[in-house]
Structure 1
Amino acid sequence: MDTFALPLLHMPFPPADPNPAAKEAEAGMWPWIDEMGLCPTPADRERIHATDISLLIGLLYPAADLDTLTMLARYSAWVIVIDDLFDERISNVGPHRCYHELHSVLEVFDGHSPKNPVARALADIWHWTTSRQGPSWQEAFRTHTRDAIWCHYTHSVNRRSRQLPHLEQYLEFRRDDNVAPPFLDMCEPATATDLPDTIRRLSAYTELVHSAGTWIGLCNDFYSLRKEREGGHHSDVFAVLQTYEGLSLQEAFARTSTVMTRCIERMQSATRQLLAHLDAVEAPTQIRADTQTCIQAYQNVVQGFLRYNSQAPRFTDPKPADPQSRAVTDLFRQRAG
């Protein structure tokens, strides 16, 4: 595809130093991947290598201890595996199979035994996190993960029908589709915090998470543009703007950058509101401290995704599609061990 100049994205949040334990955490991820059966072929392993998990977790979770960071490496790998599996294989088969396989993964949240490696890995992550986080966090993570995973079904239907959502619908969809809210949920185990429901139910808190999530999704659209377009996919925000507003690609870049700046402004406004809400609900000292820690952690995740997307080989040097050497293994045809 032609080369276009990406705009300079507004980013007021200062970068944190990367987590020094990231490489060690990534090393601890690989035995788990093998145990779960997530990467049975060299091509599957290469896709995880290209993701550069240590770069991702080091930037997103700079304060996490080694044990937690290792779990976050495993979780990040699981996200990449399921994204590639559906994006490059299952969603192309058709909506009915996509629906069935997604259901087989998510039913582990209801206590069902995993039937395939993808579900087995999620069950293991769920067990680890629920042993550390309380009911309010568990409900949020479960809801956010379900919302994110079901987006693959919508993708499959959109491909079959050749339809694109309008901009507002797309922005809401992209927030979930990019798995941004679950990545933000993981800030709590990463910082040894566990926000109570009295904070999580506040509208300012929801606005903070949603604004951050939308920004992360649009940032990914910028940096995955080359990979997606060369793979024949035209379902990003730029395609939406080109289709419904008649913009050129460069004009769509500028429009999206403006939307992203507004997301940052909404994050800042929501932060001010949330801090004021702490006074209104007479939050105890520890809850105030934990909330402020999470606010900072969300900023780290947003800033971290900006740096990660601009550096990760998955986006900077995407490999050309090759059905013979790089085919994604159909993990749903393999039984959970």
Structure 2
Amino acid sequence: MESFELPKFWMPYESAGVNPGLEETDGPLWAWLDAQHLADAAAAREYVRRTRPTLASALYHPNSESTALLPQAQYMAWAFIVDDELDDGPIGRDPAACEAAITRMIAVFDGDVADDPLTRALGDLWPRLAEGKSMSWQKSFWAGQATWLWTTYVEAVNRVTGHIQSVPEYQQHRCNSIGEYMMMDLCEVGTRIDLPDAVRRLPAMRTLRQSAAGQIGTFNDICSARKDMAAGNRLNLVLLLKEENELSLQEAVERANGIATDWLTKLNAARAALGGQLDAAGITGDTREDALAAADNVIALVRGNFDYHFMAERYTDPLERNIGAPDYVGDLLRTPQPRGRANHQVG
């Protein structure tokens, strides 16, 4: 297999450190995973351990109150497991089953909780994530989550039909498939921020969030290129650039790094423009300060994600397994039994 060296990445943001609640959160996270039966098999537990979702959350949310870090880490673990189930497991190669699983997970927003382990776990977690949050926040979170989940359906269909996305098509897709918009909204959970729609829809805020997602997705592809090559997964920007432009692997990595840098340049420009747009929209006082703080939380998330990729074995020492039958996938979204309404109602 062709090898490559990681490029010199541009990261203009200082680290905000690790949330001090990291150590006291890991034990309760594992207790929850056990109670929800999300990592019962030894291989699944080892894969989650190597992923280190508590560390990821502590880096993503360095300023969150300690009480918020546990649900943030639970969601991080849940999202990683969903991602692996749909990317690496058999359900991601069955469009009809994938569509049914996505529909069940989205229905949790309305209080419908099916009896597959991952949907049931989301039904348990969602009320704690949404506690005290406005409908604006809830709808933003679920819009991001639904968009992320539906990208896995697109990928399932593409696998079956043999369609390979072009580089421009994939770059647009990747901003959604990386699943970071929900994580940006989760920054508000632990920092007492709840932005109104007028702030969420400012052009600079939307560009800032898209640029953060684009950088994270591109950076993740560079760090995951070896694993994806070994698994035969061509849905990676580095590999698409290599094939589409007839580049060496190292040249493709360098070009992807240039794209990651471009995303950061756009992010910086959006952050610089945000203050003027808040003024133009007449957004003042605490709301204005919250908007700027929310933008800075996104920047801290970008830096935290960067550091995380050099600290978690999932990326520093990837397990190169055959795609389609990895032993860490438990098929946790398959054949649920109806469960009826949950005890909570959203909206």
Tell me which interval the TM-score lies in, with the shorter structure as reference length. over 0.9
Measured at CA, do residues 251 and 8 of structure 1 come closer, stay the same or move farther in structure 2, by a change above 3 Å?
Answer: same
Which residue of the partner structure matches residue 147 of structure 2? 147
Distance in 2 separating the partners of 1:124 and 1:113: 9
Preserved CA contact (<8 Å) 2:227 2:318 = yes
Preserved CA contact (<8 Å) 1:91 1:153 = no
Distance in 2 separating the partners of 1:265 and 1:152: 28
Query: What do residues 84-118 of structure 1 show as CA deviations (whole Å, max 9, x unaligned)?
Result: 11112134542122112221222212332323111
Which residue of the partner structure matches residue 319 of structure 2? 319
Measured at CA, do residues 40 and 295 of structure 1 come closer, stay the same or move farther in structure 2, by a change above 3 Å?
Answer: same
Distance in 2 separating the partners of 1:66 and 1:327: 30
| Segment of structure 1 superposing worse, 319-328 or 207-216 | 319-328
Measured at CA, do residues 196 and 316 of structure 1 come closer, stay the same or move farther in structure 2, by a change above 3 Å?
Answer: same
Distance in 1 separating the partners of 2:255 and 2:333: 40
Which residue of the partner structure matches residue 296 of structure 1? 296
Query: What do residues 140-169 of structure 1 show as CA deviations (whole Å, max 9, x unaligned)?
Result: 110000000111111111222222212222
**1:260 Cα offset (Å):** 1.3
Say whether residues 1:53 and 2:69 are aligned partners.
no
Distance in 2 separating the partners of 1:240 and 1:51: 25
Preserved CA contact (<8 Å) 1:145 1:179 = yes
Which residue of the partner structure matches residue 16 of structure 2? 16
Which residue of the partner structure matches residue 224 of structure 1? 224
The secondary structure found in structure 2 opposite 1:28 is helix
Say whether residues 1:168 and 2:153 are aligned partners.
no
| Segment of structure 1 superposing worse, 224-233 or 91-100 | 91-100
**Identity across the alignment (%):** 31
Query: What do residues 153-192 of structure 1 show as CA deviations (whole Å, max 9, x unaligned)?
Result: 1111122222221222211211111111111111111322
Which residue of the partner structure matches residue 43 of structure 1? 43
Measured at CA, do residues 93 and 165 of structure 1 come closer, stay the same or move farther in structure 2, by a change above 3 Å?
Answer: closer
Preserved CA contact (<8 Å) 1:90 1:98 = no
**1:334 Cα offset (Å):** 6.8
Measured at CA, do residues 167 and 320 of structure 1 come closer, stay the same or move farther in structure 2, by a change above 3 Å?
Answer: closer
**1:219 Cα offset (Å):** 0.8
Which residue of the partner structure matches residue 243 of structure 2? 243
The secondary structure found in structure 1 opposite 2:304 is helix
Measured at CA, do residues 187 and 325 of structure 1 come closer, stay the same or move farther in structure 2, by a change above 3 Å?
Answer: closer
Which residue of the partner structure matches residue 328 of structure 1? 329
Distance in 2 separating the partners of 1:324 and 1:247: 30
Preserved CA contact (<8 Å) 1:90 1:97 = no
Which residue of the partner structure matches residue 157 of structure 1? 157
**1:330 Cα offset (Å):** 1.5
Distance in 1 separating the partners of 2:304 and 2:210: 17
Query: What do residues 180-227 of structure 1 show as CA deviations (whole Å, max 9, x unaligned)?
Result: 111111111132211111101111111010010010001110111122
Which residue of the partner structure matches residue 282 of structure 1? 282
**Count of residues in correspondence between the two structures:** 337
Preserved CA contact (<8 Å) 2:2 2:249 = no
Distance in 1 separating the partners of 2:145 and 2:277: 27
Distance in 2 separating the partners of 1:210 and 1:60: 16
| Segment of structure 1 superposing worse, 266-275 or 158-167 | 158-167
| Segment of structure 1 superposing worse, 114-123 or 74-83 | 114-123
- The runs of 5 or more residues in structure 1 that have no matched partner are none
The secondary structure found in structure 1 opposite 2:188 is helix
Matched to 2:159, the amino acid is R
Measured at CA, do residues 65 and 334 of structure 1 come closer, stay the same or move farther in structure 2, by a change above 3 Å?
Answer: farther
Matched to 1:163, the amino acid is H
Matched to 1:178, the amino acid is I
Preserved CA contact (<8 Å) 2:85 2:92 = no
Measured at CA, do residues 7 and 153 of structure 1 come closer, stay the same or move farther in structure 2, by a change above 3 Å?
Answer: same
Distance in 2 separating the partners of 1:90 and 1:99: 13
TM-score norm. by structure 2 comes to 0.92
Matched to 2:163, the amino acid is Q
Preserved CA contact (<8 Å) 2:212 2:264 = yes
Measured at CA, do residues 92 and 58 of structure 1 come closer, stay the same or move farther in structure 2, by a change above 3 Å?
Answer: closer
Which residue of the partner structure matches residue 204 of structure 2? 204
